[in-house]
Amino acid sequence: MASAQSEQSSFLQQELTCPVCLDLYRDPHLLPCGHNFCRTCLYRLKWQANRGRLRCPECRDSHRCGTNFQKNFKLANIADDYRHHRRATTAAATALKSRESLTSSLPTQQAKSVFAVPCDYCPSVTAEASGTSADGPSVSQEGGDKKEAAAAASVFAVKTCLKCEVSMCQEHLKPHLELPAFREHPLTEPMNDFWKRKCPDHDEIYRYYCMDDKMCVCNACTIEGHSGHTIKTLRNTMKDLKRTLDKQLCKVGRKYSMAEEKLREQKEKERQNKKFKDDSEQYLNRLGEEMKAKVLRFINRLRECTRTHCDTNGPAIQKNISRICQDQDRLQEVRCGLESLMQENDPFRFIEAYKTTGRQCRRQLRKNMFYPEYINMYTENDEMMEEEMRTFLDEELSSIIVAAINFLCLYKEDFDDSSEEE
């Protein structure tokens, strides 16, 4: 049964193979003689034509180059479906066999790779390692754990070639690293999302970026749909965008420094306010012990004045600190988002992330910074304190009262002088 399916698949692949490039049809077109060829292969035949006429490589019939050859839509759909089915079948079979037979016997690092991208060149390595074939068991299970671990290391890809559109394990990657013919082939991290990186209209890998339409384009798109537009390679586009992000990071740094400076100022005022409150409380308690009942009313009044002043400033200071911290958190999120974009080295992923994360970061950067409300560190109840002093002077307590008022007011002035010096 398996042999019959294999023969049927081989026959279908042969029927769907272009006679010129010997690969599955890509955008096939039909000649008047009834033979099909890939669109690019047909263009190549036109370029090589003699006297404006091309010969069919199959039957050698002559056709005019100016003829508009019709696309074979049915054959194109069959070829695309077969190509996708073959890739999906290979990947699914490899992943399934690997997960079932190798996960339990591999070390931690190798077990993680079971869920990686399979190598397109060795889909049957897992079956050989597990001792099975199309006809049944063929290898003994002695030393199976070591064979399975070695097989797993070769099943999964370490690099993907964007030009060949294949993922390769370490062994099959050697020709791309050693042979001059593969020197210009771009290698990237293993991936399964080729369809995201290919133009749906021309079935080509995205290699350029249209600055006018803000979208990735293939080589054919630059000629057909984006002629006259500003076109850049994906790598150069990434470099330009990263330069923009670098400027934004500098802007974030400057704004973050401003926020830090404001936060330091408000925290210093908070410290002064707390120290003034604590020292005043301590002094007035000592004064209350000395004056006892005679100056109890005066002490309570002074305490009320100082506390009112501190309680009035406290919420405003806390509000300023809270708003500044919000600015810092927002800027920190922007910094993290921009730095994560700067760390992305894959052009396609970078551009896709730039459209979302970059736009969010720019929106957050455009928000205005919070400027703290003015906090008046001067007491507004000096007159009330002086009235209390005049009241108690009649009771021969002027010296104690003057000492208390001087402590509270001069202590506050020392704070103001130190702030001006800073």
DSSP for 154-207?
HHB-SEEETTTTEEE-HHHHHHHHH-GGGTT--EES--S-GGGGB-TTT--B--
Distance CA 259, CA 253 (A): 10
Do residues 410 and 280 make contact, with C-beta atoms less than 8 angstroms apart?
no
Contact partners, residue 316, CB within 8 Å, separation at least 6: 373, 375
Per-residue pLDDT, 12: 80
Question: What global pTM score does this model have?
Answer: 0.37
Per-residue pLDDT, 95: 57
Per-residue pLDDT, 398: 67
Question: By three-state DSSP, how is residue 83 classified?
Answer: helix
- pLDDT under 50 in the chain at which residues? 1, 102-114, 124-144, 146-153, 422
Distance CA 224, CA 77 (A): 22
Digit-coded pLDDT (tens) for 323-366:
899 989 989 998 998 888 888 888 888 888 888 888 888 888 88
Q: What would the two tokens of residue 330 be?
A: 């927002």
Task: Kindly provide the residue ranges of all beta strands, DSSP E only, lying in 218-338, ordered along the sequence.
Answer: 231-233
Distance CA 271, CA 322 (A): 16
Per-residue pLDDT, 143: 47
* Secondary structure element (H or E) that encloses residue 112, with its range: helix 108-113
Q: What angle do CA 59, 60, 62 make, to 5 degrees?
A: 120
Give the amino acid at 186.
P
For tokens 């704070």, the residue is 415
Per-residue pLDDT, 256: 93
Distance CA 173, CA 180 (A): 13
Distance CA 134, CA 36 (A): 35
Per-residue pLDDT, 146: 47
